[in-house]
Amino acid sequence: MAAASQPTVTARPKSGNSSQMGALLGGAAAIMFVATLAGAYFSVRNWIGVGGDDGFIPNGLKFDNYAGFMTMTSALAASLAAEWALMSARLNQRRWASAGFGLSAVFLLAAMNIVWFIGQRSGLVASETPYAILFYALLASILLLLAIGVVAAIVTLIRVLGGHVGGAELLHGRAGNWLIHLATLAATVGFFLIYTYR
């Protein structure tokens, strides 16, 4: 009786999807954050100059390219896995979609592990050179963005399992993927700054 007399509640039509918009705006902010660190890196590098005893890169500092390359590769793999997962979700293949987002989270966790390893083994002392401050600031930012990517992948995985993402309902999945791609972008920028443009 009571249930029958209740008016039907329907969601009011909105002008857009807030999850996607939030991911876009947050992504734009994160890109500006990383871009500022990259700008500071180039600015200080050009100001001090490369080479010599008082050059931008401390004398004797050697990085193994392997760790940096693996960070970037792991992050790229996470992005690819996330896109594959979203494609599977579009085809209503929930099992493959879940596997893809799970794999994406694992790849991002691996990338976080390598970034932590790079920071621990660098041997740089923050108080000694401007490079050290920029180096650790970049690593901390990449670590944070990778962590956001992990959370996004896990939340999207839960949404897939719960049936909130799949078929025509892909907006939340797309929003999560943008955050994962953002983490990949940050890892790639970090790789080029630390290993390529030395």
Cβ 128 vs Cβ 58: under 8 Å: yes
| Gap between the Cα atoms of 40 and 90, Å rounded | 41
Give the residue, chosen from 57, 94, 130, 161, that forms a contact with other proteins under the rule CB under 8 A: 130
Contact between 187 and other proteins per CB under 8 A? no
Considering Cα of 50, then 55, then 56, then 58, what sign does the dihedral take?
A: positive
Contact between 40 and other proteins per CB under 8 A? yes
Interface positions, 135-174, toward other proteins (CB under 8 A): 136-137, 141
Structure tokens at 62: 């050697």
Contact between 92 and other proteins per CB under 8 A? no
Give the residue, chosen from 4, 5, 7, 13, that forms a contact with other proteins under the rule CB under 8 A: 13
Neighbours of 13 (CB within 10 A): 5
Buried b (16+ CB within 10 A) or exposed e, 167-182: eeebbbbbbbbbbbbb
State which residue, 102 or 130, has the beta carbon closest to other proteins.
130
Among 11-19, 82-90, 106-114, 184-192, the segment contacting other proteins (CB under 8 A): 11-19
Contact between 65 and other proteins per CB under 8 A? no
Nearby residues of 83 by Cβ (< 8 Å), 6 or more positions away: 177
Contact between 12 and other proteins per CB under 8 A? yes
Number of residues engaging other proteins in binding (CB under 8 A): 38
| Gap between the Cα atoms of 171 and 112, Å rounded | 27
State which residue, 43 or 92, has the beta carbon closest to other proteins.
43
Binding site for other proteins (CB under 8 A): 12-18, 21-22, 25-26, 28-30, 32-37, 39-40, 43-44, 46-48, 126-130, 132-134, 136-137, 141
